[in-house]
Amino acid sequence: MISIGIADDDALVRQTLTDLLSRNDDIVVAWTAKDGQEALDLFHSSEVESRVQAVLVDVQMHKMDGLALAQALLEEKPDIAILILTTFTADSIVDNAMALGVRGFVAKEDGASTLAGAIHQAVAGNHVLSPTTSALIRDQDRLWARGSSHPSEHIQVPTP
């Protein structure tokens, strides 16, 4: 059983993700948080800290953003699988997240089976780009290829 946490400032997104992921027999949502600080507090709670293997993190949140949360979690538990949930994949976010040790990116537009598969792959130690985020990055790469050097050209994401 994979135990996860969800940090997103949108209550509907948190509830929808919880409902979708609860349909999987081998994934359980241990907690949800409205911002990075609440997620960190829940992570430190004695009931869930040792059980959580993955955290789905929104990038833009109040009090503590997703990258700051990812950094704090990875400093304490380097083997935790952090997946960024996003509606966009700006180059600076990809670069910074990969440098921190984030295991992957999943678009909020992706389906439930894609999300569950990404969680499994990340917990197994693989780096993951969902089909939607991969397409977004590929499209950005095409724009950069027209004349500028791409700031993330040296990032390599292993195939899950």
pLDDT at 160: 40
3-state secondary structure of 120: helix
CA atoms within 13 A on the CB side of 153: 9
Q: Per-residue confidence at 134, pLDDT binned at 50, 70, 90?
A: low
Report pTM: 0.80
33-42 average pLDDT score: 94
Residue 136 clears pLDDT 70, i.e. is over it: no
Q: Per-residue confidence at 37, pLDDT binned at 50, 70, 90?
A: very high
Q: For residue 112, give every residue at least 6 positions away whose Cβ sits within 8 Å of its Cβ, in sequence order, or none.
A: 20, 21, 23
Residue 94 clears pLDDT 60, i.e. is over it: yes
Q: Per-residue confidence at 110, pLDDT binned at 50, 70, 90?
A: confident
